[in-house]
């Protein structure tokens, strides 16, 4: 307890004792009400934070899907394969690992091409990705939704 609060409560106890008032009880009730308001505000902020984290996850997921869509157009024969020796593909690999593999929306397998050289193959779980967007109540753009529906088994 701060020195200021100790002095205040000492004075209130003294006044209560001398005058028969209930100032200590009133001060404690006031402080408890203040703590309850702060707790309610904190609970609301935690709910907002959870909602914003979900929205951020949906935005990151869209970014990954746009990246994969671009790869499917530019590299149709190997759009789910990543060569970490290529700096651009390595950055893309980091992106999909962070936002697809870690949340268990895709798996990744490593193939050894030659000694010291590996290629990674991404295997998205398209149903889980759709479920993620439904859970976040995030709508996909019609083009992206159509592309995803083409990929589902």
Tell me what pLDDT residue 136 has: 80
pTM: 0.71
- Give pLDDT tens digits for 82-118: 999 999 999 999 999 999 999 999 999 998 878 888 8
- For residue 135 the two structure tokens come to 């859970």
Tell me what pLDDT residue 140 has: 76
Q: Locate tokens 């009880």: which residue?
A: 25
In the predicted model, is pLDDT for residue 68 greater than 80?
yes
Q: Spell out the alpha helix ranges (H) of 75-125.
A: 87-96
Q: Indicate the angle between helix axes 142-151 and 23-74, nearest 10 degrees.
A: 70
Tell me what pLDDT residue 153 has: 62
Percent of the chain residues topping a pLDDT of 70: 99
Laid out side by side, the sheet with 81-82 consists of 81-82, 117-124, 106-114
- Give pLDDT tens digits for 35-54: 999 999 999 999 999 989 88
């Amino acid at each position: 307890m701060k020195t200021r609060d100790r002095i205040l409560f000492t004075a209130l106890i003294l006044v209560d004792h001398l005058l028969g008032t209930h100032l200590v009880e009133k001060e404690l009730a006031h402080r408890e009400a203040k703590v309850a308001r702060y707790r309610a505000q904190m609970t609301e902020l935690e709910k907002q934070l959870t909602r914003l984290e979900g929205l951020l996850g949906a935005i990151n997921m869209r970014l990954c899907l746009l990246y994969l869509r671009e790869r499917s157009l530019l590299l149709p024969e190997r759009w789910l394969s990543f060569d970490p020796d290529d700096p651009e593909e390595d950055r893309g690999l980091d992106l999909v690992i962070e936002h697809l593999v870690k949340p268990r929306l895709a798996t990744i397998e490593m193939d050894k091409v030659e000694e010291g050289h590996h290629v990674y193959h991404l295997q998205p779980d398209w149903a889980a990705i759709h479920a993620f967007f439904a859970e976040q109540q995030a709508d996909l753009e019609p083009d992206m939704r159509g592309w995803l529906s083409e990929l589902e088994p």
